[in-house]
Amino acid sequence: MTAFSIVLLAMIAAFLGMRLYSVLGKRTGHEQEPVLPRERTAAAPVRLDENDGSQAPAPAPADTSGLVYEPAAEAGLRQLLASDRNFDAGRFMEGAEAAYRMILEAYWKGDRDTLRDLCDDDSYEAFADAIAARESRGETLDNRLMGIDSAKITAVELNRGEARVTVRYHADISAVTRDADGKLIAGSMSDASQTDDLWTFRRQIGSNDPNWVLDEAESA
């Protein structure tokens, strides 16, 4: 992306500045090797008049709405890229959004096999225990993930060759609980609730298995 800043005044010649930057995981549909934003240097202020102490307006902040990570995660992403050149933030987030949907739907349906494939041992056991408790009460969930409003990487940690990536999801979910007779006992399909979830996925760097597994799941 290139931005041009031009200031034309009667007593000043044309002033031209150009800045080029690239962003990690920018969703273009053609992600290859992700690149972190380069350090940007602010343009020097322009004197409007020798007798006027005012300065040109500061440049507007860069638009980060298309990024798949929050600024706090940038340092961790640099470390991960240095350790694993095959990591692609755009593809990771596509998988993370799919995993969010698949894991929630598997939990709601009581599908332990799918949960076993997508979760580590601790996360799987937590889901399995909750499913067992629900089944013992004769309850079923008729939940629907209406949509994911946003999903971004919030933190990245590397420890002893293992990478852990935390993703914040904002989603709309319609939640309904029914008893053994199919009667509604909680929730409403016509009133979706907004969620704010933090899920952490982990993977051993250099492993032949390219898949990430859910390590932790909590509500923010």
pLDDT tens digits for range 59-93: 444 444 568 999 999 999 999 999 999 999 999 99
* pLDDT (mean) for 200-211: 94
4 is written with which tokens? 């041009």
Domains, the chain, in order of start with CATH, read 66-219 (3.10.450.240)
pLDDT of residue 26: 35
Work out the pLDDT band at 58, boundaries 50, 70, 90: low
Judge contact between 201 and 212, C-beta under 8 A. Answer: yes
The chain-wide mean pLDDT, for the chain, equals 78
- Tens of pLDDT, residues 6-36: 333 333 333 323 332 232 333 333 333 333 3
* Higher-scoring residue by pLDDT: 37, 77: 77
Of 21, 22, 24, 23, the C-alpha closest to 156 is 24
CA distance 215 to 196: 17
Run of H or E residues at 170: strand 162-174
* pLDDT at position 217: 95
Mean pLDDT on 119-129: 97
Contact 163, 141 (CB under 8 A): no
What phi and psi, each to the nearest 5 degrees, are found at residue 51?
Answer: -100, 5
Whether 175 contacts 184, CB under 8 Å: no
Mean pLDDT of 170-197: 93
